Structure 1
Amino acid sequence: MNIQEYIESGILEAYVLGTVSPQEKREVECLSGIYPEIQQELDDLSVAMEQYALTLRRDPPAVIKENLLKQLDFQTPQEDKAVPVVAASEGMEAEAETPVRPLWGPNSRPTYRFSWVVAASTGLALLFFSLYLLSQLRDSQQTVSELRSSNETLQQDFRRVQVQQQRSEQTLALVRRPGTRLIRLDPVAQDQAKAVTLFWNPQSGEVQLEVDSLVRPPEFMQYQLWAIVDGKPVDAGVFEIDDWQHLVRTQKAFPRADAFAITVEKRGGSPTPTMSTMVVLGKTNA
């Protein structure tokens, strides 16, 4: 059980105010006997309520006491001196009635003690109800934030799956073309990039390669593809590495090639390959 969440749920404030159901009351009393933290929170709430009530205490004006004393008559009432009426038929004397004075006169006012107690209780009830609403609002905001974050994560995953599906469809379309060959360009050095897959169709001369495994070079550098034809490197063009890009298609056609290689050159390309910056190389075995 998460004791802190139970304390912040607002049920302890409702218990102190006496607004909980009988079942909730038994639950709070049971848990407070088990967990000292809950009992301590109940004690703190009771003390806070008492202190808040004391802050709302107001002494009644002195004029109230004077008006009250004027309304009260502590003197012994004098008996009525009126002569009793003689009943001729019964021969009995009627006793004079003693007047009865009410404790509260028509202009008397009650004490303010009950008023400030009611005001204090109402203020406490509104205070704890506001705290309860604030706690519920924070919980709702946290829930909305978690749902929004979860929704954004799901959208990112969905977009990622869509991109992967599109890339798979593109690769599958290349493989299905008649005459398309798949050539593996292996890293020249072990500490360099991973192998690159190149699709070559000798019938059409079309060349495309997957660039997912290549690391983006510095801004002043570019990757350049080379086709080795009859033992000589032929420029196949430079290309960029973008996050959304999966396949790169060359502008030139190569009906014949002994091998393909990729080097890192200055932006704009080079007329001849820089052998020291060669990244991958793969033979066609044509």
Structure 2
Amino acid sequence: MDIKAYIESGILELYVAGALSEAENKEVYALMQQHPEILQEVLDIELAIVELTASVSQSTTRKSLELIKKTLGFNGTDDAKVISIAKPKYNWITYTGWAASIILAVGLLWTVTQNNQLKSNIQTVETQKSQLEIEIEFAKTNLDKAKTLISVLRDENITQVPLTGQGPFAATYAKVYWDTNAKRIFLDVDGLPDPPQGMVYQVWSLTLNPLTPVSLGTLDQFTTDDNKIFEIANPNQSEAFGITLEPAGGSASPTMEQLYTLGVVASS
């Protein structure tokens, strides 16, 4: 029998751990009685484990060793049969290294998991923060617009121009609040329906004699603007305002067949 190969096979560690079958345990026990080298190896393994659990008292350790010897059937006279090895192959440092490796691996796994969770939480917080910043900015913009509109409505110098529905669009309406000092208008188009696909409302400043239309731009955000109030620059000496429906991008001159609303500025 190759005792060295048997010792290195790992079966003795399994024996000490109690992981062998009853038949295998009997086999190892018989070989321990026949070969002092195997017995010594088992004792070395047991000793390493006992030292690894050094939290127990020294008296408990000694009792454990005596119990091992007693269980194996060796008394004081049999000790002379045990071959002493100066440096056991399996010492407490070896098993401590295994334990440290396991602890380190578990620690690294926990750290990686926590880092991934932390990164996920940070991304979630950053996303929520960005969304909140957008909502705050949107609310601030709406508040600023509301304050501006209130100041315009309360200003006695603001010229109000009602725009009434024309021809087949008689049910429509709009209203212009013209701030001549700031050269701008606030156009309320809540009385207009959503434009058809591919079409857009275009706003015109008109002089009447001769009739000259000047485009003030298109209402490209009509369907997405909940308030339906638009601030538009108007540096013109307007005598009337009109709104037509035009192809997307607007037209160079108004399509009179699509004139929705028209209003004349009252004489001062």
TM-score (norm 2): 0.49
TM-score (norm 1): 0.46
Higher helix share: 2
